[in-house]
Chain A
Amino acid sequence: MNAAEIVPLITDLAYLLAAVLFILGLKRLSSPDTARSGNILGALGMFIAVLATLIDREIVTFAGIAAGITLGALIGVVAARAVKMTAMPQMVAIFNGLGGGASALVAADEYLRLARGSMAAAADVRITIVLSVLIGAVTFSGSMIAFGKLQEVITGRAVTYPLQKTINALLFLGIAAAGALLVVSEPSVPVFTGLAAASLVLGVLLVIPIGGADMPVVISLLNSYSGLAAAATGFVLHNYVLIISGALVGASGIILTQIMCRAMNRSLGNVLFGAFGAAAAAGPGAAAAADRGVRDISAEDASILMAYARSVVIVPGYGLAVAQAQHLVRDLANALEARGVDVKYAIHPVAGRMPGHMNVLLAEANVPYDRLYEMERINPEFERTDVALVIGANDVVNPAARSQPDSPLYGMPILDVDRARHVIVMKRSMNPGFAGVDNELFYRENTRMLFGDAKKSLESLVRELKAVPA
């Protein structure tokens, strides 16, 4: 073998190594103990893949690459350091979009080469280019809209207009027709540009009718698309490491999408096309709420109730994160634990704005992760729980999901807090949750409402707790 044969061989073997490192890295995410090293393995795989690419014979100029990597790394470092944990969903949405955009650009350049005649134009190459641009562009623009909604730059409401589905369908048909034309006919840059532009518009139109509360599903799905976009680009370049990595990420996104849909008791089709949350639906419960009494409780009584409990389960919802009160919850748990109370946290899969979000927010507040319990693990324990403390959660603790077939929440898996001996619900007001449904839990015999701002209520709970004699 001479040098001209050895270099591509080294590159290919390095790509294989990178793919193996990605898989090993993801495997190590199966436990919080090994997860960090897994992420580092993934980064190492990426580093090796990039180095291997730089020795490729096709590369003749390095100035643009160096400039691009420097600028990109700078932006990446600053963004990763500066982002608040509550803003993680937006961050992931943007990164997703950029990855998709990069994949689309690479495929676009391949097409331009093909059009210039500097590349053989087999049908399979054209098919993969079209797919790659389509998926990449949809991922890019869809992710940017998701970012805008999460960041509240644009309305979080579901945006609807007449003939919405028809327009989307027509646009998709147009893209399919242009794609078919590009595959069978001579290269045409105008048709190709039209396809790319239409794909960008499609990404926007697909995400705007989806309400803010459904964003966890959407980012999971876009995560999957960004993987598929990378895989499609891999098909264009005949590069297996792109195909493997893209497939891994695609699979990951699909799994997360399924989990989110199941936790919200919705089908994917309903989330994508149902325009859920276009207007706050005033359910029949809303009217009834006014004339039904709830029992409230003072911070002092609540702290006494918890101080003499054996076990307390804290149920945090996104309202807690909005109030930035995670650290106060941790203080409360510390104070309770100092008195010998067993404290656990019950985390619903859709607590937060993206899969697993609440866990990150609590970990940031130094809550040890072995105190965080998934829904399936904590539900059997509520019967033995003295006090369930619900903070800023609503729909995910509504017993109507179990008992009322006519409720929009019916069938959604919930945290069975109503089975605890006492339930304390911390809430700002009696406003219904995302689903606009009144909550049965609030009127139960064993439920007490602690009204007020979550942060202030927690502060007084911690203060009162110190005053309770041991």
Chain B
Amino acid sequence: MEGLLIALYVFVLAIFIGFEVINKVPQILHTPLMSGSNAISGISLIGAILVAGRLEGPTSAAIGVLAVVLATVNVVGGFLVTDRMLQMFRRRREGSK
């Protein structure tokens, strides 16, 4: 139970950090914020890797590999598409060629 409590502390404090940081993101960047934060939520990839990497029988392996695929699409696609959007945001001088 003590481990759970510490985890809860970390979770609650991180939510506060999240509110502070995200509130400073301007509306103009809200779509990249969504796709970028979405890529970060693909962090469950590391849980998926742990599942896929241990020898616990075929069911476990199948679940693990499927989870790795899903999370990797989320992570790779999310970061790339965010980058694609962000590189389009240009100031006046560069914009009017």
Contact = CB atoms under 8 A, between A and B. Distances in A.
A239 B22 CA distance: 23
A29 B36 contact: yes
A226 B38 contact: yes
B72 A72 contact: yes
Interface string B3-18: 1100100111011111
A59 B50 contact: yes
Given A40-B83, A106-B51, A250 B77 contact: no
Contacts of A414: none
Q: Is the interface of A mostly helix, strand, loop or mixed?
A: helix
A73 B28 contact: no
Interface residues of A, number: 121
B74 A73 contact: no
B43 A72 contact: no
Contacts of A366: 88, 90, 95-97
Given A46-B79, A92-B38, A369-B90, A347 B73 contact: no
A4 interface: no
Contacts of B40: 22, 25-26, 42, 45-46, 245, 248-249
Classify chain B's interface size: 35 or more
Given A65-B68, A367-B95, A372 B28 contact: yes
A441 B31 CA distance: 29
B23 A349 contact: no
Given A50-B45, A243-B10, A69 B37 contact: no
A392 B86 CA distance: 25
Contact of A59 (B30, B53, B67): B53
A247 B68 contact: no
A241 interface: yes
Interface in B75-97: 75-92, 94-97
Nearest to A40: B83
A243 B11 contact: yes
A363 B28 CA distance: 10
Interface in B47-72: 47-56, 59-61, 63-72
A13 B92 CA distance: 42
A39 B75 CA distance: 12
A27 interface: yes
A178 B39 CA distance: 31
A115 to B, nearest CB: 11
A238 to B, nearest CB: 6
Nearest to B36: A39
Which residue, of A26, A259, A354, has the highest number of chain B Cβ atoms within 10 A? A26
A171 interface: no
Contact of A102 (B45, B56, B79, B81): B45
A255 B37 contact: no
A197 interface: no
A112 B81 CA distance: 35
B37 to A, nearest CB: 4
Interface string A104-115: 011011101100
A69 B42 CA distance: 12
A275 interface: no
A335 to B, nearest CB: 12
A39 B32 contact: yes
A26 B22 contact: yes
A394 to B, nearest CB: 20
Nearest to A263: B27
Given A23-B17, A26-B21, A76-B72, A363 B89 contact: yes
A43 B39 CA distance: 8
A73 B44 CA distance: 15
Contacts of A75: 69, 72-73, 77
A235 B16 CA distance: 18
A347 B27 contact: yes
A371 B75 contact: no
The 5 lowest CB-CB distance pairs between A and B, nearest first, are A72-B72, A251-B18, A356-B30, A68-B68, A76-B76
Interface of A: 18, 22-23, 25-27, 29-33, 35-36, 38-40, 42-43, 45-46, 49-50, 52-54, 56, 58-62, 64-65, 67-69, 71-73, 75-77, 79-81, 83, 85, 88, 91-92, 95-96, 98-99, 101-103, 105-106, 108-110, 112-113, 116, 118, 122, 124, 128, 219-220, 223, 226-227, 229-231, 233-253, 255-256, 259, 334, 337, 347, 349, 354-357, 359-360, 363-364, 366-372, 374
22 contacts: A27-B21, A49-B46, A59-B50, A61-B53, A64-B68, A68-B68, A68-B72, A72-B71, A79-B81, A80-B76, A83-B81, A88-B85, A99-B42, A106-B48, A109-B60, A230-B44, A235-B4, A248-B14, A259-B30, A349-B27, A360-B85, A369-B91
